[in-house]
A and B are shown apart, each in its own frame.
Chain A
Amino acid sequence: MSSQTLHPSAGVALERTVVKNWKGPIALSIFAALSVLLFGVFARPGTSHFRLSTSTDFVQLPQLDVPTTLTGWILAIVTVLLAAWSVWIVSQSRRVPLWLTIGFAIVFMAGFLTWVAADALIPIPGLLIGAVSLSVPLIFGAMSGVISERSGVINIAIEGQLLFGAFASAVVASMTGSPWAGLVAAMVAGTLVSFALAAFAIKYIVDQIIVGVVLNVLVSGLTGFLYSKVLTENPGFLNTPPRFDRIDIPILGQIPIIGPVLFDQTIIVYFMYIVVAGVAYALFRTRWGLRTRSVGEHPQAADTVGIKVNLRRFWNVSLAGAIAGFGGAYFTLGSVGSFTKDMTAGAGFIALAAVIFGRWDPIRAMLAGLLFGFATNLQSVLGIIGSPVPSQFMLMLPYVVTIFAVAGLVGQSRPPANDGKPYIKS
């Protein structure tokens, strides 16, 4: 930052009262209070067991056994301290840093896990691997949403892009026997859906939400029709795609706990790291990103400096579709295997939730995607060990936090100024 001071020698500079944003500390305090109640006051007796490594891991860690009540109290107190810290930060008229929120979330999660694992065993590696696996399509979908919405086109059609990507990759990979061909097909399929979105939204100026909603129905109907009519008649030829193998990255893959989680994955997951880093870099550090953001914020200003607004939006939306296509491919080439009807099951909407919860920022959206994937997987792990919380409530989490986010109860969620508004040259 430059140290020059600004002298508004002319112009109307008005007196300001300082606005402090208390929403963050309030939210953290509520969660801290919750953790005191749940992990401390209503603690469950017993010992919590955590398995930290699997038998194939390079570094073998011993199983972690902790007393449930004591650990619960300790972690609850940590959350209270962190919440108090955030209150102090805001009282100094500063903003609560992202790492504090992340740290709080991790401590809260640890407390929650300790609480539910009373006299039970939670396999941490399995939990995390599953969480990453479930997050992959969410994160690809969220990147698609970020690019599209940063360019000013609301992308409700992420679900359709994922589903069509999954369908195309399954069919093409089965027919060619090559998962790579499937990956390319998924990209093309995702792009096709976003072409339709872009064409209707930009050329025909149809309301973008309507197009998105309808495209989701269209893709669901089309893939459902073709699945029932064509794929089920010849599943061997059309719906047994080969899957990508896991690639263990040397050294990185040997880091305890996170090594196997992050660096013993299929190529699609490594693509995901590249895409997230690439989008984050490109959006804020390159010419493409500056222009893309300008088109989403103030298209008329962009137009007057010679940027072709609608053309840029069109290609960005198409690129977004290609990225979502990757996420679709992960369903068929990475995790599930064969295509089934409506197999994305609302992942596109969770991805949309991640975009909003992540405030249209690639890194935050990725973190939101990981959180949502974690919540979903935690639910199934808890289902196995017998959880005190009904699994449906865990599954609700992404949606509930998104409602809180758009309602401004957790941070402010401000979309690009011209998100969803067609640019009509007069």
Chain B
Amino acid sequence: MSANEPVDSQLPTIAQESPNREPGQDGTEVDPGRSRWSVAIREILNGSAMISVLAVILAIVIGGILIAVTDDTVQETAGYFFSRPGDMFSAIWNSVSGAYISLFQGSIYNFRRPGFANGIRPLMDTLTFATPLIVAGLGVALGFRAGLFNIGGRGQMLFGASAAGWVAFSFSGLPFPIHLIVAIVAGVAAGAVWGGIAGLLKATTGANEVITTIMLNYVAYYFVYWMLSTQGLLQLPGSNNPKSPAMLPSAVLPPMFGVQYSLHWGFIVAIAVTIFVWWLLNRSRLGFEFKAVGFNPNAARVAGINVPRMMTYVMLFSGALVGLAGVFQVLGTVTTGFSSGIDAGIGFDAITVALLGRSRPWGVFAAAILFGAFKAGGFAMQASQGIPVDIVLVVQSVIVLLIAAPPLVRAVFRLPKPNLLAPVKSAKSQGKKAVVTK
């Protein structure tokens, strides 16, 4: 193993304190403020891939149960279960398999459509849904790695979307790529500023970023809502609805494979951003300092790293990435004008994506595609099977809960416990010398 992969599975698993340290030995007390994050970060980074897969399976099973018990036919057949149990089982099978088949057909490949070009359309939808999730998930993950919890995705997306949207519909006359680039930059900058406020508050006053980002979400929501319902700001001229005008074509992310697919060039940008974040975290000075601050802010400070400044930078970066997700929404997904619901819950989904991806860039990328598939398929499921798309939220949140609690997953699948007695700080058993006072 080389030093190139700084964070890997070598860390002692799980949150349990290593047992072979005596409490109350001087100098060994870990500051509780720090240990919370160490525990959380370890938890996020170290669960095995196995747990992730099992968590997804378990969540899908739970979703299936929910679908089955709320299905009309199942309820009907349950009424005469004891006379003809087979009816109920087949009803259950029909409802659940129907749901998941339509989920598959809505998210990956639809066999019922003629030809490959049509059949592959759902996969394109999946990637379209995944695109903002990737960048927003990376934003949240970057925060996690630096020990900061960015719950402010909604606000950062709204500001990112508003700034990009405003540039995109009002700067007429700019030619295509330039207009688009200016709009993207504006959106990213706006997201960065909104995230940076929380970072700056944390850095200067110690205000807990969890609280400030939650509160800033609502401030942003009402602020953007106000702009959207005020003539001369973001509102469509002459309209009474809180909605913006349509984006000018010169600022729209062009489709990747022609107009028949929803997928736009934002996906390529998202891949590039993933590579960049990987480089940032694993190969750059800034990433090194971010991680040092995340793991142990005290040691970082003593090592001359300006911790408050790093926190501000992290939130700027994090907000910028989440803001980019807002940009993708207005310039790629919905280009006909946006309302205050443009964030579409992606700010919160990003948290689950970052957790499922264990805050590693490519893990986040994969998790975002999975959740993108859930979204695309969820809408298909709602349309064809009448199963409300909210089921996707249930499945997503169950996945994250399970991933965060590996012992629970292991208990459900009766897996053995991992070795907790990794050689941690065995030095504590060695002693301090005696003080001989003559």
Contact = CB atoms under 8 A, between A and B. Distances in A.
Given A205-B15, A210-B355, A408 B205 contact: yes
Interface stretch (B221-229, B257-265, B309-317, B320-328): B221-229
A297 to B, nearest CB: 11
Nearest to B151: A213
B215 A229 contact: no
Interface in A201-236: 204-207, 209-211, 213-215, 217-218, 220-222, 224-230
A200 B405 contact: yes
Nearest to A200: B405
Nearest to A425: B17
Nearest to A207: B40
Contacts, number: 157
B210 A209 contact: yes
A426 B23 contact: yes
A352 B39 CA distance: 24
B404 A390 contact: no
B207 A406 contact: yes
B90 interface: no
B391 A225 contact: yes
A418 interface: yes
Nearest to A417: B32
A229 B70 contact: yes
Which DSSP category, helix, strand, loop or mixed, fits chain B's interface?
helix
A204 B388 contact: no
Interface string A126-138: 0000000000000
Nearest to A341: B390
A346 B352 CA distance: 19
A224 B407 CA distance: 29
B127 to A, nearest CB: 23
A161 B35 CA distance: 28
Contacts of B344: none
A349 interface: yes
Contacts of A352: 211, 214
Contacts of A221: 390-394, 396-397
Interface in A336-373: 346, 349, 352-353, 356
B412 interface: no
A403 interface: yes
A217 B405 contact: no
Nearest to A406: B207
B84 interface: no
Interface stretch (A25-33, A181-189, A318-326, A394-402): A394-402
Contact of A400 (B39, B70, B214, B219): B219
B405 A228 contact: no
B176 interface: no
A346 B226 CA distance: 18
A408 to B, nearest CB: 5
Contact of A210 (B204, B222, B229, B404): B404
B400 to A, nearest CB: 5
B66 A204 contact: no
B222 A393 contact: yes
A95 interface: no
A422 interface: yes
A407 interface: yes
A424 B401 contact: no
A337 to B, nearest CB: 22
Range, interface on chain B: 35 or more
A399 B215 contact: yes
A217 B396 contact: yes
A399 B216 contact: yes
Interface in B83-122: none
Contacts of A349: 214-215, 218
A141 interface: no
Interface in A32-50: none
A406 to B, nearest CB: 4
B226 A400 contact: no
A424 B17 CA distance: 7
Contacts of B230: 390
A426 B397 contact: no
Contact of B39 (A156, A229, A422): A422
B15 A422 contact: yes
Contacts of B215: 349, 353, 399-400, 402-403
Contacts of A396: 218-219, 222-223
B42 to A, nearest CB: 11
A218 B393 contact: yes
Contacts of A51: none
B182 interface: no
A214 B218 CA distance: 18
List 7 tightest A-B contacts by C-beta distance, closest first. Answer: A221-B393, A224-B390, A228-B388, A204-B405, A218-B397, A392-B226, A392-B222
Interface of B: 15-17, 19, 21, 23, 32-33, 35-36, 39-40, 43, 66, 70, 149, 151, 201, 204-208, 210-212, 214-216, 218-219, 222-223, 225-226, 229-230, 348, 351-352, 355, 386-388, 390-394, 396-398, 400-401, 404-405, 407-408
Given A156-B214, A200-B405, A403-B219, 6 more contacts: A156-B210, A210-B40, A221-B393, A396-B219, A422-B15, A424-B16
27 contacts: A204-B408, A205-B43, A206-B43, A207-B36, A207-B39, A210-B355, A213-B348, A214-B400, A214-B401, A215-B401, A217-B397, A218-B394, A222-B390, A222-B393, A224-B388, A346-B218, A352-B211, A396-B218, A396-B219, A399-B216, A400-B219, A403-B211, A403-B212, A406-B205, A406-B211, A408-B206, A421-B33
